[in-house]
Structure 1
Amino acid sequence: MQRCRFDFRAFRWVQTMVFAIEEINSNSSLLPGVTLGYRILDSCDHVHTSLRSMLFLVNGTFSQAKANADDSAKCLSNAPVPAVIGLASSSPTRAVAQTLGPFGIPLISYFATCTCLTDKKEYPSFLRTVPSDVFQVQGLVQLVSHFGWRWVGTVGTDDDYSHYGIQAFTEQLERLGGCIAFHHTIPKAPSQAQIHAILNSLESSTAQVIIAFATEGQLLELLVEAAHRNLTSRQWVASEAWVTAKLLTIPELHPVLAGTVGFAFRGITIPGLAEFLLRVRPSPRPESVFTNMFWEELFGCKLGYKDGGDSELSSLCTGSEDLMETENSYTDVSRVRISYNVYKAVYAIAHALHQLLQCGSKEQGSDHICKTVSKFSPWQLLHYLKKVHFTNQFNEKVYFDNNGEPVPLYDIINWQKNDRGRIQFQMVGTYDGSARHGQQLKIDEGLIQWAGGHTEVSLCLNGKQL
């Protein structure tokens, strides 16, 4: 069994899914008479673990007996799981999407952005509520061009997300006359020698702007070492994978990352979500395993349950510790982004089911109860998912294009230190990939706080710095 590092932000995504499901189940106008259920499994952000979890889901081997125990609960799907929401990373998502595709089981990702996933022949049942990197790359190229940054370096990680993103960025920037001073890939388990070699290159390069296509966990070690070296004169440009990552806002990294700019998914405040997250409590029930892990990790104690977590933790949890006294990526929901993508994925499935089950149609009479006399197959749900089109409570149109892609909307974020000495994510612009050329990128330069208090402009001609 692979040991996973517990991710508070990912746990918030999971709880947002539960919140959305409970919200729909209490909504008399959406899926009346139908109750949505769910199962949650961990991928550990690993291809093999993702495939194993997916097979458990679609084969019905996880908690099937428990699911069938309640005779009053009539399951409307022929398959154990008619749709899957996930995954976060592109490489595991590709593996799962390839496996589910031939069976027509919908897979909706909230965070896998790789352009490689747009191939409908290879991934026929894949959709996503997060824009493809093709739009983010276009926006990043426009951003660096807007500020005259033509001599830049790139840093990535050893995965599909990074490989495809940096390749596309490099090609587009060079077509506009820009130059790549260096590119480095951070290995999945880098040695100290490899970290030092990358930083030696960054220090010796005359390029002052670094575009990083990577996840926060894989960047952390490199950035900590950069702080130790006092490598603070670089302007970092963040991809959406880490631009709002609380993990990297620790005081140690402020001299390195203050002034960072980058692209983030559209942010929203979801009414009721904050209160819902704070109501989470540990329990000895088997379905609370992730909540219990979260609780032990957050409060540094051990629950006295049989399946408790880290046995090395000495103090016992009471179970009544106060979440309101904590401040971390789980409780920070002032403007959620990836969680909002999860929220939209749940509602997209609900609206597709609403159409599939003919809820509220004239044939069902005045009570508007959904048609539940016969079971449906996942491919039927996929058909309606591809056609789903609704406006949510935030006045955003939710639908998928022919490639299963959403409307490409981004916020442009700047890392700024506030009066309390903490990093805050300041929105300084927007990018709309569906707008006409020349009207896509909008930036309020007066709001930006730059690294070192100024912009670093690097130019090149014929591959040589000017």
Structure 2
Amino acid sequence: TMGQAVNTLGLHLRLNTGTPGWCLTLGDFVLPAQEAAGDILIGGLFPLHIVVSEPELPFTKRPRPGQCSGFDFRAFRWLQTMVFAIEEINRDPDLLPGIQLGYRILDSCDHVHTGLRGALSLVNGSSGWADADRPCLTGAPVPAIIGLASSSPTRAVAHTLGPFDIPLVSYFATCECLKDKRQFPSFLRTVPSDLFQVRGLVQLVAHFGWRWVGAIGTEDDYSRYGIQAFREQLAERGGCLAFYATLPKAENPERLAHVADALEASSARVILAFSTEGQLYGLLSEVARRNLTGRQWIASEAWVTASLLSGPQFRDTLAGTLGFAFRKASMPALGDFLLRVRPSPAPNSVFVNAFWEELFGCRLDFTGGADEAPGSNQPSCSGAEDVRGRNSVYSDVSQLRVSYNVYKAVYAIAHALHRLLCCDGHVHLWCSFQLLSYLKRVNFTTRFGEKVYFDSDGEPVPLYDIVNWQRDSRGIITFKTVGTFDASAPVGEQLRMDQSTIVWTGGETQVGHGGCPFCPPGTRQASRPREPICCFDCLPCADGEVSNQTGSSECMKCPQYHWSDPDRVACLPMLEEFLSFQDILGVVLALLSVLGVTVTLVVTGIFYRFRDTPIVRANNSELSFLLLASLALCFLCALLFIGRPSPWSCWARQATFGVAFVLCISCILAKTMVVLVAFWSTIPGSNAVRLFGPTQQRALIFSCTAVQVVLCVSWLTWDPPSPIKNTSYQAGRIILECQDGAILYLVLGYIGLLSCICFDLAFLGRKLPDTFNEAKLITFSMLIFFAVWISFIPAHLSSPGKYTVAVEIFAILASSFSLLLCIFLPKCFIILLKPEKNIKKGMVSK
């Protein structure tokens, strides 16, 4: 089935490419290539050379392609990683079983023109590839390409291949511009976009308080888009670029000198270099020649682990460099594979041969020194030399970052081909045209434990390591990971660093100054109108905000229930405030409550001791004892308002208060009606006493109290009070209080209704004979009751914090004392001090 699918794919490729009768080939790009035959070929474009000479344009004949020079050992390692991954897949019995992958890899020379030539050569295929006597896909156009390294060549190639849905999977092109699927519909990459790197770089710069930053870039999309985004985002955080210098594409000593002059003249000591290692090499050579040290270099991912720049000549200049790097993987098998490479006279070993001659500085006997400069006298080499004897970046597998991206790109294409050729177990004619669709949907886990997939824009998960260039004991620069950046994490948790492990430029252990003046912790910088952005005033943070770093551009708001300390450098838990038994006010109110209960019990004891005397019997002793019990309950419920609010205390305090006060008012109402009925019964023919006897009195008290109980039960069922933390009353303090709900007003309103009825009835009996006129005492007590609760309303609304509860307790105690003293004090006075009046004759003398 898999073989039939391969033949189907080959048939459709022949029908849609340069077969005679269908398309006319205007020319054949005969380019050096490293290739291996297979059932399906994967294309590759790698910048094996980093310098391209500009071709002459005579406009009278076809121009000759530019000559590539400056062999890049790092890029050759990327190429070998692709070969390693393909050979590994061919040995895998589960992935593409029965299918042999081949490859055709060309040199892009890190240039737009050479990159396009290579891409067109790959998709056109070799001459005569569709001959009947050759395997159907040997020499055929490749169905997918892995490449390129730089954004500008990648953009040109992706724009060309997009209309044909030929997948281009990049391992190093990071420009955000390539995210546009309308222009680059077939572009994917295993490397995060510069969008995320720039965000991380800005957060990194802001984290250390650097506001005055110099920038160095190149004349390509990678640098142009990256530095533009960096400038904009840095400005949002209050920083700016001290200068922005552009490196030339080709070697130009004069322009490089101008850039070095700008670097030397600038006051900025933090320099961001958004460039590739090859383009930056010339400038750094000039900087090292001038001995321009003391600059803190910030590296983009394109050169942050470049061994080319970590050599002895740049140690004083670049030691302490900090930058973002792709996540790395440990691949011991790749290290062994790299050491097994050997040159060969075969045409498909042209790159291996060039690598060998460059690495050993020799001329292979079977190459004839094709790339040898005229007049040079290089020794010959046999190809049996040992690569281990050369300490080169090629064999250094300690920082496999871009190589790992190449590895993931190869496996992504392999998984997509596997799904395409299987087509869920069936072969269909249309399957061969859907490689791009399958590639967009790959989802697999590498043998190193990383999950690989693409989002809707063909982007991978944006993960970075933060790398610091540090010298070891021998003075050699090593790349040490000091943190991570995960752009998919929540804001504020993306950048993670162990700052204690960072070694800064010059071997310093303390972070350097960013050029601009710094605002101390606890303040923020405020820009001055019509002055440069690095000229600002330091303003204290507002209440509830802090800045715990030097040079903060804004203050951070404290988390909920936290407040800034006096220095505005730390957020402290807010002080919780409630009326407690440890407060003097709480102790006083609690003592008054206990005093009220004590006085009530004393009065109860007096009434019980003299229960058979006329004055007690005349005042309906049963109602009096019930009233005293309800008053004691009123005094006790005040204690529920003191202490830390909890769900049970919030439920109990208002419900107990409401029921106790209604019981108290109901007893007073019954006593008032008893007094009125007693005198109305003297009217001839009146049977009022029989109609309002003890049974009716109990029924009145029970029914009035039952209504309040029903209201409280409904309140606690539907809208129960609950403890809340109120931070709106006073800054920096949490007022712990109960949120009572709307039904509380019905409970209080019912108390007010009964009080008004009681007052009206007592007012009607105010002119009765003095000796028996308890209604006059009730009237006076109710007037005090109304005065207390009417004054309570504005006092309650205007009292802050714990004093709100204190006002309510005071109102409860004051109204309870008024009822107790006004109704029972005169009777106790007669019982204890005027016993001669506590006789029946004395009671009816008037």
Instruction: Say whether the fold is shared (TM-score over 0.5).
Output: yes
Secondary structure (helix, strand or coil) at the match of 1:123 reads: coil
Change (3 A) 1:191 1:358: closer
Please tell me whether the aligned partners of residues 20 and 346 of structure 1 are also in contact (alpha carbons under 8 angstroms): yes
Please tell me whether the aligned partners of residues 321 and 504 of structure 2 are also in contact (alpha carbons under 8 angstroms): yes
The match for 1:94 among 155, 172, 177 is 155
- Per-residue Cα deviation, 1:80-106 (whole angstroms, up to 9, x for no partner): 210000000111101100110001100
Change (3 A) 1:138 1:70: farther
Partner of 2:101: 36
Secondary structure (helix, strand or coil) at the match of 1:357 reads: helix
Secondary structure (helix, strand or coil) at the match of 2:272 reads: strand
Q: Does 1:176 align with 2:237?
A: yes
Please tell me whether the aligned partners of residues 292 and 309 of structure 1 are also in contact (alpha carbons under 8 angstroms): no
Q: After the TM superposition, which residues 198-217 of structure 1 pair with which residues of structure 2 at under 5 Å, given as runs?
A: 198-217=259-278
Distance 2:500 2:235 in 1: 28
Secondary structure (helix, strand or coil) at the match of 2:67 reads: coil
Please tell me whether the aligned partners of residues 303 and 309 of structure 1 are also in contact (alpha carbons under 8 angstroms): no
The match for 2:394 among 330, 347, 368 is 330
Partner of 1:59: 124
Q: Does 1:154 align with 2:215?
A: yes
Q: After the TM superposition, which residues 19-418 of structure 1 pair with which residues of structure 2 at under 5 Å, given as runs?
A: 19-61=84-126, 65=129, 71=134, 73-75=135-137, 80-306=141-367, 308-311=369-372, 312-358=376-422, 363=425, 376-377=431-432, 379-418=433-472
Q: What amino acid is the match of 2:75?
A: A
Partner of 1:456: 512
- Per-residue Cα deviation, 1:307-344 (whole angstroms, up to 9, x for no partner): 64333343111110100111111000123000000000
Distance 1:18 1:407 in 2: 25
Distance 2:304 2:400 in 1: 13
- Per-residue Cα deviation, 1:278-321 (whole angstroms, up to 9, x for no partner): 00000000100000000011101111225643333431111101
Superposed displacement of residue 51, structure 1? 1.0
Please tell me whether the aligned partners of residues 184 and 198 of structure 1 are also in contact (alpha carbons under 8 angstroms): yes
Superposed displacement of residue 465, structure 1? 3.8
Partner of 1:368: none
Superposed displacement of residue 21, structure 1? 0.3
Secondary structure (helix, strand or coil) at the match of 1:82 reads: coil
Instruction: Provide the identity percentage.
Output: 62
Change (3 A) 1:253 1:309: same
Distance 1:355 1:189 in 2: 44
Secondary structure (helix, strand or coil) at the match of 2:79 reads: helix
The farther-off stretch of 247-256 and 289-298 is 247-256
The farther-off stretch of 124-133 and 454-463 is 454-463
Distance 2:300 2:513 in 1: 20
Superposed displacement of residue 191, structure 1? 3.1
Change (3 A) 1:81 1:307: farther
- Per-residue Cα deviation, 1:203-253 (whole angstroms, up to 9, x for no partner): 222111001100111111211111122210110000000000111111111
- Per-residue Cα deviation, 1:390-430 (whole angstroms, up to 9, x for no partner): 11111111000111000011000000011121100000000
Please tell me whether the aligned partners of residues 24 and 30 of structure 1 are also in contact (alpha carbons under 8 angstroms): yes
Distance 1:431 1:263 in 2: 8
Partner of 2:648: none
Q: What amino acid is the match of 1:430?
A: T
Partner of 1:367: none
Q: What amino acid is the match of 1:463?
A: P
Distance 1:70 1:163 in 2: 50
Secondary structure (helix, strand or coil) at the match of 1:206 reads: coil
Distance 2:166 2:184 in 1: 11
Please tell me whether the aligned partners of residues 293 and 309 of structure 1 are also in contact (alpha carbons under 8 angstroms): no
Structure with the larger helix share: 2
Distance 2:332 2:255 in 1: 45
The farther-off stretch of 323-332 and 313-322 is 313-322
Please tell me whether the aligned partners of residues 362 and 381 of structure 2 are also in contact (alpha carbons under 8 angstroms): yes
Superposed displacement of residue 375, structure 1? 8.1
Secondary structure (helix, strand or coil) at the match of 1:343 reads: helix
Unaligned runs of 5+ in 2: 1-64, 518-526, 536-846
Instruction: Give me the TM-score of the superposition, normalised by structure 1.
Output: 0.93
Superposed displacement of residue 61, structure 1? 2.4
Please tell me whether the aligned partners of residues 88 and 109 of structure 1 are also in contact (alpha carbons under 8 angstroms): yes
- Per-residue Cα deviation, 1:62-119 (whole angstroms, up to 9, x for no partner): 6x55x96975x45399x62100000001111011001100011000000000011000
Please tell me whether the aligned partners of residues 76 and 374 of structure 1 are also in contact (alpha carbons under 8 angstroms): no
Change (3 A) 1:42 1:69: farther
Change (3 A) 1:295 1:190: closer
The farther-off stretch of 438-447 and 181-190 is 181-190
Distance 1:349 1:74 in 2: 20
Q: What is the aligned residue count?
A: 452
Distance 1:6 1:147 in 2: 37
Distance 1:313 1:162 in 2: 39
The match for 1:426 among 466, 477, 480 is 480
Unaligned runs of 5+ in 1: 365-370
Please tell me whether the aligned partners of residues 120 and 403 of structure 1 are also in contact (alpha carbons under 8 angstroms): yes
Secondary structure (helix, strand or coil) at the match of 2:478 reads: strand
The farther-off stretch of 303-312 and 19-28 is 303-312
Please tell me whether the aligned partners of residues 210 and 235 of structure 1 are also in contact (alpha carbons under 8 angstroms): yes
Distance 2:367 2:207 in 1: 58
Partner of 2:66: 2
Distance 1:216 1:150 in 2: 25
The farther-off stretch of 266-275 and 199-208 is 199-208
Change (3 A) 1:94 1:245: same
Please tell me whether the aligned partners of residues 208 and 234 of structure 1 are also in contact (alpha carbons under 8 angstroms): yes
Please tell me whether the aligned partners of residues 248 and 256 of structure 2 are also in contact (alpha carbons under 8 angstroms): no
Distance 1:76 1:55 in 2: 17
Distance 1:442 1:290 in 2: 41
Please tell me whether the aligned partners of residues 107 and 125 of structure 1 are also in contact (alpha carbons under 8 angstroms): yes
Secondary structure (helix, strand or coil) at the match of 1:58 reads: helix
Distance 2:482 2:393 in 1: 21
Secondary structure (helix, strand or coil) at the match of 2:370 reads: coil
Change (3 A) 1:241 1:70: farther
If you compute each CA radius of gyration, which structure gives the higher value, 1 or 2? 2
Q: What amino acid is the match of 1:93?
A: T
Q: What amino acid is the match of 2:122?
A: L
Distance 1:344 1:70 in 2: 35
Distance 2:131 2:123 in 1: 15
Superposed displacement of residue 195, structure 1? 2.1
RMSD: 2.0
Q: What amino acid is the match of 1:413?
A: V
